Amino acid sequence: MIKSGQEKHRQVVIFGIGEIAELADYYFSCDSQYEVVGFTVDRAFLKQTEFRGRPVVAFEEVADTFAPDRHAMFVAVSYAKINAVRAEKVAAARAKGYRLASYLSSRATVFADFELKENCFILEDNTIQPFASVGANVTLWSGNHIGHHSVIEDDVFLASHVVISGGVRVGRGSFVGVNVTIRDHVTIGQRCVLGAGALVLEDQPDLSVVAPRGTERSPVPSTRLRSL
């Protein structure tokens, strides 16, 4: 049985009104026991009073409308500033007394004793093998493989179709791009950026950037290709 301490609050307020917030609203509404009742953003970014048919309130006064003792919060923010913005907003929500909700897709594969921590967003077709652990405030976009005995630390963002082999550690605040493969027992330091398609075969120190060269465009136009 999945371990989670999130049963207390079933109404959730989403921080954000961008694309990720829109997706979070959809997933929570269609595939969880939570009811999304509203949205919140910093007052400086409050340009509208409604989003997806629900109220939007300034974060500075959110507790006046959605009391922390009756509502959870989910911070729907991307990997901006290597996940620092999302981590800051999670800390701010905790400071206001909110419990942080998490979403775990019913179409993800997890095993007994998997612990779902706060403010995680785990989408469909993720496979998290036995003895692997995922920290708080982690986003696992669709289609990733998290190998046995691997550790994903707090505040990490994995894009889609990442393969993390067994015994890997991904350091706090790191970003792992689409189709990255990490060999078994490799350690990725804190706040690293692994670009799309990277093949990582050895340990990476804190603040590393692994950026494979992108596909080069041929100077020959497609109309001159004879074999296609």
Which pLDDT tens digit goes with each residue over 10-35?
999 999 999 999 999 999 999 999 99
Residue 201 to residue 203: CA distance in whole angstroms: 7
Q: What confidence tier does 38 reach under pLDDT thresholds 50, 70, 90?
A: very high
Number of domains in the chain: 2
Within this chain, do residues 133 and 155 fall inside the same structural domain, yes or no? yes
4 found inside a domain: no
Within this chain, do residues 95 and 20 fall inside the same structural domain, yes or no? yes
| Domain termination residue (choose one: 101, 128, 161) | 101
Residue 94 to residue 31: CA distance in whole angstroms: 25
Within this chain, do residues 96 and 107 fall inside the same structural domain, yes or no? no
Within this chain, do residues 106 and 194 fall inside the same structural domain, yes or no? yes
182 found inside a domain: yes
Beta strand pairing status for 35-41 and 121-122? Answer: unpaired
Q: What are the pLDDT digits (tens) for 100-129?
A: 999 999 999 999 999 999 999 999 999 999
Q: What is the pTM of this model?
A: 0.93
Q: Is the pLDDT of residue 4 over 80?
A: no
217 found inside a domain: no
| Domain termination residue (choose one: 86, 101, 116) | 101
Within this chain, do residues 93 and 70 fall inside the same structural domain, yes or no? yes
| Domain termination residue (choose one: 50, 66, 101) | 101
DSSP the chain: --B-S--S--EEEEE--SHHHHHHHHHHHHSSS-EEEEEEE-GGG---SEETTEEEEEGGGHHHHS-TTT-EEEE----TTTTHHHHHHHHHHHHTTPEEP-EE-TTSB--TT-B--TT-EE-TT-EE-TT-EE-SS-EE-TT-EE-TT-EE-TT-EE-TT-EE-TT-EE-TT-EE-TT-EE-TT-EE-TT-EE-TT-EE-S-B-TT-EE-PPPPPPPSS-GGG-S--
| Cα torsion angle, 186, 143, 12, 55, sign | positive
Within this chain, do residues 93 and 106 fall inside the same structural domain, yes or no? no
173: CATH: 2.160.10.10
Within this chain, do residues 119 and 79 fall inside the same structural domain, yes or no? no
Within this chain, do residues 125 and 179 fall inside the same structural domain, yes or no? yes
141 found inside a domain: yes
Within this chain, do residues 176 and 108 fall inside the same structural domain, yes or no? yes
Whether the Cβ atoms of residue 165 and residue 171 lie closer than 8 Å to each other? no
222 found inside a domain: no
108 found inside a domain: yes
Within this chain, do residues 16 and 95 fall inside the same structural domain, yes or no? yes
Residue 221 to residue 95: CA distance in whole angstroms: 57
Within this chain, do residues 157 and 114 fall inside the same structural domain, yes or no? yes
71: CATH: 3.40.50.20
Single-letter amino acid, residue 207: L
5 found inside a domain: no
Q: What confidence tier does 1 reach under pLDDT thresholds 50, 70, 90?
A: very low
Per the structure, the complete domain to which residue 165 belongs is given by 102-201
> Once rounded to an integer, what is the mean pLDDT over residues 158-175?
98
118 found inside a domain: yes
Within this chain, do residues 116 and 178 fall inside the same structural domain, yes or no? yes
